Structures are given as structure tokens and as C-alpha cells.
């Protein structure tokens, strides 16, 4: 051994200030101020192992062995060993060879204990990167502590860095977002596979490239947004879309500038989250709110319109007998009544639009239904398009809700009209379909209803989404996105099928397949022109806040031979009421102050046996008790006469 001591370590591992502080702690007996790590000492001389254990046991967990092969076994069993102190000259396996073998499977920092005679082997080990430093024997205790401390810190920092890399790799590999890191010049330095897939490349093909160079014309917008985020130095968020109108893919993009140790922005992290589903849900919620408001508005309009129609139709019916000897006036009255009845039919459809209810499927003659829609087509589609029907005769009835089927056909015709802004012909056809091997529907015979246009057609990417609720390609305010969704829902609930064929520039054909009914459709009840006279005269209280409707109702009742008393609201009715004074109460449903339901409850509280008939133009306006009979407006005198007679006889079924 030489006189004195010597020690060497990598310059990158040295920190003069911290080493000095550590020396002071050790020299004062304070011990190592930090996490207690594990070191392994390997030397064939037991005395040296004892000396090393004494030197480090206060600061570290110390493992010792005099056998190099046993040292390898310990390293295999102890993955958390941070530092290996090994003698160079040992029988069987030299220190540098031991540490080189250990480095193949372990990340412990390696330090050689050696004499000057072994300096050539030490330098070779340093050059190979097999060790981080060496200490000559006999060692200086402070220098050895400093070298071990630096090696331990290096190991800890290496482990921390490996953990951060593993966390980043896990984030990049498994995040649902597209994540990338760019340098200040916009070149990719790290990105995940999802981002690379967006660019049509693999990860390695994107590194070192600018995004603008990979995506072409859209690159200028991306580069400008990146540069703006770097200039501002603050986190920037934006919403972007890509794809054709109506089938856009939406992304929420967050750009995070990253500063280096000097405070300058050196990198930019970009996180892109697919928010297409969220945007779709938000649009659906907005449309749902809009539809609820429209439904409420439609119901309110229908209620008021039905009151007007009740007064108009009732007045016309009352006036007709008075001009029986004036044929010209009779024709005018009939024309007016026909127009008012068409208005009543339109109001019925408006109410059907406003209400949400279960399908009332029954046997329906589809050809008759479509044939009866000619006026509706003319009013709803405008003058630029014409509707041609091609209805196969002799088709059986189908099991479907006729009101909803009528609305579905009308929606399809409106869509066809919108696809032909310059005008054209819409063909509505029916035929028998024999379907087999279709996974969406059972094999068998069905009735097919098709609506075909000569319009612009639908691109494939749009065609895949046209049946989604609230999906629309029309401008704001021109479509709800519910038309085809409603038709699709109708066919599904009716155990049928919806099929769409379209070619851009040629037109679209939408076909509904509906199952045949097992029974024939019910025959429509024939109109009763003359109201029957009452078998006996009854005292009836008529309550309605609309004076015209109230007058018509009272006039009808008086014409039947009853004694009618009028009241303008519920309070006035209660003031007129006394037990035994009236045989029947006829009351409007929606009245200010007190509704017809509340009035009926008050009347029944005073005279439980007295029948009450509710008149309404919008039965869904409020919940009506099941035991309260209802007659919807507008009504003919014969309808009112039949209901009144049934209530007075105690044979009324309840609702009508």
C-alpha cells in the first residue's frame, strides 16, 4: 500500500457544497440525513468487511459477503440495493468483472476499493461505465462516505427518473387523449400512439417532424395556435372540429408551455381530447329543451285553437237549420264548416306532436291513411314539389299507431322536399315485401312503405348517423334532428324495419317494413248528422271562461231539450250550485282561478252522486282523474248529446 489516501469519482456526480455538509453531519455523529438505503460490501478480507459495516451502519442497511458469487445471488434477491462496494482483487472473480456482470441485471451504483497496483483495471472499468468511482486503500473515511453518498444520491435520482419515465410512458400509452410534446420550433420530441395515428404515421415517423408538415393545409392553423401559446406563456384551451358538416369530430385542445431551468419556454405539451360524444349530448339536450318548449307551446296553441273551432263549428251547426231554405247560404256554411274541420284535423296533429305517449298500435289501412293525407301534403310541402302515390291495392292492414305513422310519412316527405331545393317529385308507394335473412327483422311478409325523392342524396359518413336523435345537417332553426329518429323509433316499436338507400346527386329512398295485423281495421263510425232529443229534460250547469264556447255548449244543450245555466268560472259555478239544483255539470278543464278538476272535486264534496263532464281542447294540459269523464274539443252536437245522455242514464264509459 502507498502512503496517504486517494479517491476518484465522476465529476457529474460531485456536488461540493452538499458533500461538505454531509461530512459535517457524519463527523459530528449526526448520521445520514435522508432515506435509509441498502449497500452491499464485497471483500475477501473479513476485517475490511467489519470496518465497512462499522463505517456505514448508522446511515445505511449494510449487507456484506466475502464471496463474489454470493454477492451476485444477493443482488438477484435484493433489487433495492443502491450501492455496491467491491474489492478489486478477490479469488475467483475480480471486482471489475463482478460489477460488470451485476450491471447486466441490476441498477446499483458500483464503487471499487483498490490499491494503486490495480489502477489499470480501475481505469478500464471506468471507461466501460461499469463503475461510478473508486477509492484506494487504505481509505479516508470522509472521502469514502462522500463517494458512497454521491453514488446513493445518483441511484436515487436514477430511480426517480426511471419512475417518471415509466409514469410518462404509461400515460402516453394508455391515455384516451392524443398527447404530444414539441420543442420551441414545433418539432415532436415525444408523442403517444393515438396522436401518431391521427397523423397517419407511427410514433417513430413523427419524431423530429413538425405537425404542419404532416397534415398539409391544416398545418398553418395548428402552427399558429402553438406559437400563440408559446408567446403567451399561459395554458391555452380551444375547441376544434374536423370532418364534413354533420359528421364532425370535435376535440378539446389544451396547450401547456413548459419552461426550462432558466425560465424560458423550451417545450409545449399538447393534449387533445375527443369531445364528439359530449358535444352530441349537449346538442341533444339543447334540442330536447327546445322540443319540450315547442311541445308546451304547441299544446297551448292547440288548446286556444280548439276553443275557437268549438265556437266556429258550433255556431255554424246552430246556424244551418235557420237557413235551410237558402241553398246558397247553406253552401257557404258547409264550406266554412269543412275548413274548420280541416283546422280541427291540423290541431289534432299539432297535439300529437306536442304529447309524449306510448304507441297505440291497432289494425290500420295504410293505403287509406296515405290517401287521406293529400290535403296535408299540399299544405305542408309547398308548391315546388309534387307528391305522386303508387299504392298496391288489396294489401292487408298493418299493426301500427296510425297517428304516428301519418306523422312519420309526413316527416319523410318534408325531408324529401328539403333535399330538392329546386323542386321535384316525391313518390310515396306501398307494396308487399317478403323478407328473409335480415338480422334486424324476423323472416316473413311485411307491408313496405317507401318515400323516394330526386334530391341531392346523402354522403356515406352522414348516412351512418341520420337516425341518431337530434342529428341534423340543416341550418340552425331549420331542423330538429328528430324526424328520422322518430320514424326509426316507430318501426322498432312496431317490430318493423327502416332501410335507407341514397346516392349523392341521384336521390334517396326510405323504406319502412311493418308487420301485417292479425285482424281487419275497425270500420269508422258513420257521422250522425242530427243530435238525438233528450229522453227527459235535465238541469245542466255549463261552466267555461270562454263566453263563445260557453254559449255554443249551452245552446246545444237547450236544443236537446235541457235547461242550461251558464257560469263564467269555478267561483261563479259554486255560487250558483246547491245540492239537488242540477242534474249534471259540464265544465271546461283549463280555467283561471279554479280548474275543471278542482271544481269537480268541490262539487263531489257537496253532492257525491252528481255527474261532472269535463270539456277540453288539450287533455294533456293536466292530469285528469280516471273516474272523470272527458269530451275533447271541438265536438259536434251529436257527440255532446250522446255523452250527456249516457251520464244522465249512468251508462257513460268515462273517456271520449
The pLDDT tens digits for 491-511 are: 888 888 888 888 888 899 999
Residue 574, pLDDT score? 94
Tell me, which fold does domain 7-167 have in CATH? Answer: Rossmann fold (3.40.50)
The pLDDT tens digits for 481-493 are: 445 767 877 888 8
User: What HEC string does 143-162 produce?
Assistant: HHHHHHHHHHHHHHHHHHHH
Does the domain formed by 362-515 have CATH 3.90.1310.10?
no
Residues 522, 39: Cα–Cα separation, whole Å: 95
In degrees and rounded to multiples of 5, residue 136 shows phi and psi of: -85, 150
The pLDDT tens digits for 346-360 are: 777 666 655 545 567
Against a cut of 0.75, is the pTM above it?
no
C-alpha cell at 111: 464503487
How far is the CA of 535 from the CAs of 112, 646, 649, in angstroms?
Answer: 123, 11, 10
In degrees and rounded to multiples of 5, residue 183 shows phi and psi of: -80, 180
CATH code, residues 539-649:
3.40.50.2300
369: preceding bond cis by omega (within 30 degrees): no
In the chain, domain spans: 7-167, 175-274, 362-515, 539-649
Which of 619, 580, 577 minimizes the C-alpha distance to 597?
619
The strand pairing partners of 133, in sequence order, are 9, 111
Which of 72, 64, 63, 65 minimizes the C-alpha distance to 102?
72
Which of 586, 583, 539, 580 minimizes the C-alpha distance to 567?
586
pLDDT band with cut points at 50, 70 and 90 for residue 229: very high
Residues 171, 195: Cα–Cα separation, whole Å: 13
* CATH architecture entry for 175-274: 2-Layer Sandwich (3.30)
Q: Fold identical between 7-167 and 175-274?
A: no
The pLDDT tens digits for 528-574 are: 455 556 667 899 999 999 999 999 999 999 988 999 999 999 999 99
Q: How many CB atoms lie within 10 A of CB 370?
A: 20
Q: Cα 128 to chain center, whole Å?
A: 59
The strand pairing partners of 269, in sequence order, are 181, 256
The strand pairing partners of 63, in sequence order, are 40
C-alpha cell at 496: 318493423
pLDDT band with cut points at 50, 70 and 90 for residue 105: very high
Residues 211, 178: Cα–Cα separation, whole Å: 13
Which segment of 69-73, 284-288, 582-586 scores lowest on mean pLDDT? Answer: 284-288
Residues 516, 496: Cα–Cα separation, whole Å: 10
DSSP state of 378: H
Residues 57, 47: Cα–Cα separation, whole Å: 15
Amino acid at each position: 500500500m502507498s502512503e496517504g489516501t486517494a479517491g476518484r469519482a465522476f465529476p457529474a456526480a460531485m456536488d461540493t457544497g452538499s458533500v461538505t455538509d454531509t461530512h459535517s453531519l457524519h463527523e459530528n455523529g449526526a448520521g445520514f440525513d435522508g432515506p435509509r438505503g441498502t449497500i452491499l460490501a464485497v471483500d475477501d478480507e473479513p476485517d475490511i468487511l467489519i470496518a465497512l459495516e462499522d463505517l456505514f451502519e448508522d446511515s445505511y442497511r449494510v449487507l456484506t459477503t466475502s464471496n463474489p458469487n454470493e454477492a451476485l445471488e444477493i443482488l438477484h434477491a435484493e433489487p433495492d440495493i443502491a450501492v455496491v462496494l467491491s474489492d478489486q482483487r478477490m479469488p475467483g472473480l475480480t471486482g471489475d468483472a463482478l460489477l460488470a456482470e451485476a450491471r447486466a441485471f441490476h441498477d446499483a451504483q458500483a464503487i471499487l476499493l483498490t490499491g494503486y497496483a490495480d489502477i489499470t483495471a480501475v481505469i478500464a472499468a471506468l471507461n466501460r461505465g461499469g463503475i461510478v468511482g473508486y477509492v484506494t486503500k487504505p481509505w479516508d473515511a470522509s472521502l469514502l462516505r462522500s463517494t458512497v453518498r454521491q453514488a446513493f444520491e445518483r441511484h436515487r435520482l436514477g430511480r426517480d427518473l426511471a419512475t417518471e419515465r415509466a409514469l410518462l410512458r404509461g400515460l402516453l400509452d394508455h391515455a384516451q387523449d392524443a398527447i404530444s410534446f414539441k420543442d420551441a420550433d414545433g418539432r415532436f420530441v415525444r408523442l403517444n400512439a393515438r396522436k401518431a395515428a391521427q397523423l397517419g404515421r407511427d410514433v417513430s415517423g413523427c419524431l423530429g417532424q413538425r405537425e404542419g408538415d404532416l397534415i398539409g393545409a391544416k398545418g398553418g392553423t395548428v402552427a399558429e395556435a402553438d406559437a400563440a401559446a408559446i408567446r403567451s406563456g399561459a395554458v391555452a384551451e380551444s375547441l376544434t372540429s374536423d370532418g364534413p358538416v354533420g359528421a364532425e369530430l370535435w376535440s378539446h385542445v389544451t396547450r401547456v408551455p413548459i419552461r426550462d431551468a432558466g425560465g424560458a419556454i423550451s417545450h409545449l405539451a399538447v393534449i387533445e381530447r375527443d369531445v364528439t360524444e359530449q358535444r352530441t349530448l349537449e346538442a341533444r339536450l339543447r334540442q330536447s329543451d327546445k322540443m319540450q318548449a315547442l311541445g308546451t307551446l304547441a299544446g297551448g296553441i292547440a288548446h286556444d285553437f280548439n276553443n275557437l273551432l268549438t265556437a266556429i263549428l258550433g255556431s255554424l251547426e246552430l246556424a244551418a237549420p235557420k237557413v235551410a231554405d237558402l241553398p246558397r247560404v247553406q253552401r257557404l256554411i258547409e264550406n266554412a264548416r269543412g275548413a274548420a274541420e280541416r283546422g280541427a284535423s291540423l290541431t289534432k296533429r299539432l297535439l300529437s306532436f306536442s304529447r309524449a305517449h306510448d304507441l297505440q298500435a291497432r289494425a290500420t289501412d295504410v293505403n287509406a291513411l296515405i290517401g287521406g293525407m293529400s290535403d296535408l301534403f299540399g299544405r305542408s310541402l309547398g308548391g315546388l314539389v309534387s307528391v305522386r302515390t303508387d299504392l298496391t291495392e288489396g294489401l292487408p292492414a298493418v299493426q301500427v299507431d296510425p297517428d304516428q305513422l301519418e306523422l312519420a310519412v309526413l316527416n319523410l316527405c318534408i325531408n324529401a322536399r328539403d333535399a330538392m331545393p329546386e323542386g321535384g317529385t316525391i313518390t310515396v308507394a306501398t307494396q308487399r315485401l317478403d323478407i328473409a335473412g335480415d338480422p334486424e327483422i324476423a323472416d316473413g311478409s311485411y307491408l313496405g312503405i317507401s318515400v323516394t325523392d330526386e334530391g341531392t342524396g346523402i354522403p356515406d359518413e352522414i348516412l351512418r348517423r341520420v337516425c341518431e336523435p337530434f342529428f341534423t345537417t340543416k341550418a340552425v332553426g331549420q331542423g330538429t334532428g328528430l324526424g328520422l329518429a322518430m320514424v326509426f323509433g316507430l318501426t322498432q316499436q312496431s317490430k318493423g324495419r327502416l332501410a335507407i338507400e341514397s346516392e349523392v346527386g341521384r336521390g334517396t329512398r326510405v323504406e319502412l317494413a311493418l308487420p301485417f295485423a292479425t285482424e281487419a281495421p275497425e270500420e269508422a263510425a258513420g257521422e250522425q248528422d242530427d243530435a238525438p232529443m233528450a229522453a227527459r229534460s235535465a238541469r245542466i250547469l255549463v261552466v267555461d271562461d270562454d263566453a263563445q264556447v260557453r254559449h255554443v255548449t249551452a245552446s246545444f244543450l237547450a236544443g236537446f231539450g235541457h235547461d242550461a245555466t251558464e257560469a263564467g268560472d269555478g267561483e261563479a259555478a259554486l255560487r250558483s250550485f246547491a245540492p239537488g239544483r242540477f242534474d249534471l255539470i259540464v265544465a271546461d278543464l283549463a280555467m283561471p282561478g279554479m280548474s275543471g278538476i278542482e271544481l269537480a272535486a268541490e262539487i263531489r264534496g257537496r253532492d257525491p252522486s252528481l255527474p261532472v263532464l269535463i270539456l277540453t281542447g288539450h287533455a294533456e294540459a293536466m292530469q285528469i282523474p280516471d273516474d272523470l269523464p272527458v269530451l275533447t274539443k271541438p265536438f259536434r252536437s251529436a257527440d255532446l248529446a250522446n255523452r250527456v245522455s249516457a251520464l244522465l242514464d249512468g251508462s257513460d264509459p268515462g273517456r271520449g
